[in-house]
Structure 1
Amino acid sequence: MARHCIREARYIPPVQNIGEQPDLFGGPTLCHVAERKGPPKGWQRQLQKWGRCTVMADLETGEFPMNEPAPAPQPVYLVACVAAKLDHPAPARDLYISTWFQKARAYVERQGAPWFILSAKHGLIAPHEVIAPYDETLGRMKVGARRLWGARVFEAMAEQIDPAAPLIVLAGRKYRDPLWPSIKRRASVPMEGLAIGQQLAWLSKN
């Protein structure tokens, strides 16, 4: 079905073929229009009704349906790092070798959604990033250092994660708290309050 984006209340004359045509608003544009003798019936009235906005017009029928809403962004999973690691550099998803992390990784990969690791040393890291083993944990950081870590992670999130994406956090309080004031409106913690054994069971069955 041929559609054309009308950016203001002005009728663009039809053309016989599809190709690059002069754009009335500056620069060339690709026109995909159907041949007709005049403007679609009622086009001015519809544009006056909606005002100066983007309207998708069906040039085959002359109808002006409302734009379809954009799909909701996928949730993004945030997984805490752990102490148990390989003894050599590896992609972050492989570096952490505790049972909890392996189950958390398997869980988020089953969801088919993007995910990141909250690293005490590196901040926000993608699963494919190759990093060396390290011996740092938020549990040994002072409160001020944890706040700085949270600010650094949130800055990285702003660059790499859709600000409208829901966040699902698989991490303990020490990793959540420095971030929580900035993400609480769109974040959830599905395993909050569960002991480690309960978390392992939850990750296995979901």
Structure 2
Amino acid sequence: MRKIVLINCVKKKRAGKHKAKDLYVSTLFRYQLKYAKLFSEEIYILSAKYGLLELDDYIESYDLTLNNMSNDSRKKWTCKVLKQLQEKNITKEDRIVFLCGKKYLEYLAVYFKNNEIPLKTMGLGERLRFLKKEIMKRRRNERK
């Protein structure tokens, strides 16, 4: 069973065209990406505009969020992402770690049998503290 990490996009972006991993510049995104790299090499970004992105996909900056979409639009977005996941041979049997907010999880997480949502009940500050703590813990363990 594969372990795949899905990270949501964020509002704070660089202008212009960049690799997806470099476009998003918020502190939360940076920590989510560092955390994801601790336990998986298969990491994707969930973009409100583009759907599923690989870290090295080149994309233009945009101003769109799932938070402002209607339920119907979010359902269509979910169908698009599920199709993109299937194209990468990611199935409902795979282990999916969601590092995402509620709107990204809403219709997507229920599709997967083996999902983990470590940040599910946390606010922004709690998420940052959790991610920093876990990253530091891993670094300390690697030094031993």
Same-fold call, TM cutoff 0.5: yes
Report the TM-score when normalising by structure 1. Answer: 0.62
The reply on whether 1:117 has 2:74 as its aligned counterpart is: no
Q: Choose between structure 1 and 2: higher helix proportion.
A: 2
- How many positions carry a matched residue from both structures? 133
The reply on whether 1:171 has 2:132 as its aligned counterpart is: no
Query: Which residue does 1:205 correspond to in 2?
Result: 133
CA offsets, 1:180-202, max 9 Å, x none? 3322x121101111111111011
Q: After TM superposition, which residue ranges in structure 1, 4 or more long, deviate above 6 angstroms?
A: none
Matches of 2:54 and 2:29, distance apart in 1: 15
Aligned-partner residue type, residue 131 of structure 1: I
> Max radius of gyration: which structure?
1
Matches of 2:38 and 2:118, distance apart in 1: 16
Alignment counterpart, residue 180 of structure 1, candidates 81, 104, 109: 109
The reply on whether 1:128 has 2:62 as its aligned counterpart is: no
Identity %: 29
Aligned-partner residue type, residue 107 of structure 1: Y
Change (3 A) 1:114 1:137: same
Deviation (angstroms), 1:175: 0.6
Aligned-partner residue type, residue 180 of structure 1: A
Matches of 1:161 and 1:205, distance apart in 2: 33
Decide whether the 8 Å contact of 2:5 with 2:40 is kept in 1: no
Aligned-partner residue type, residue 96 of structure 2: L
Decide whether the 8 Å contact of 1:191 with 1:199 is kept in 2: yes
Matches of 1:205 and 1:160, distance apart in 2: 32
Deviation (angstroms), 1:203: 0.9
Decide whether the 8 Å contact of 1:74 with 1:113 is kept in 2: no
Aligned-partner residue type, residue 139 of structure 1: N
Deviation (angstroms), 1:94: 0.6
Alignment counterpart, residue 94 of structure 1, candidates 22, 38, 42: 22
Specify every segment of 5 or more residues in structure 1 that has no aligned partner in the other structure, as ranges.
1-72
Alignment of 1:118-157 (within 5 A): 118-157=46-85
Query: Which residue does 2:139 correspond to in 1?
Result: none
